[in-house]
Amino acid sequence: MQPGYPSQPPQVDNNMTMSIVAIFLFWPLAIPALINASKVNPLLQQGDYAGAQAAAAESKKWSKWALIVGLVWYAISLVCCLLGGLGSIMSADTTV
């Protein structure tokens, strides 16, 4: 590091984009992700890099869980709808 130049603060990804995407898949788990993602930048401005990193990690954890649960939920719903439709086609009375 050269004298006279301030050191760059560490860059911490706040995972806001992933939290917003998670809202559309499973909102109950995405709310804590959004709350933690919104804490990252103020903590960085205060100089609390460890706190910002912890908030970013929590945001990422909640976002991943919301994405996983949401995708599994939609897959199960799709399978149930397809099986229900297939069952109604198979049981249709075709006699006249």
User: Average pLDDT for residues 4-26, to the nearest whole number?
Assistant: 86
pLDDT score of 96: 64
6: enclosing H helix or E strand:
none
Nearest to 20 by CA among 33, 39, 8: 33
- At residue 94, does pLDDT exceed 70? no
pLDDT tens per residue, range 40-93:
999 999 999 999 999 999 999 999 999 999 999 999 999 999 988 887 787 866
How far from the centroid of its chain's Cα atoms is residue 61's Cα? Answer: 8
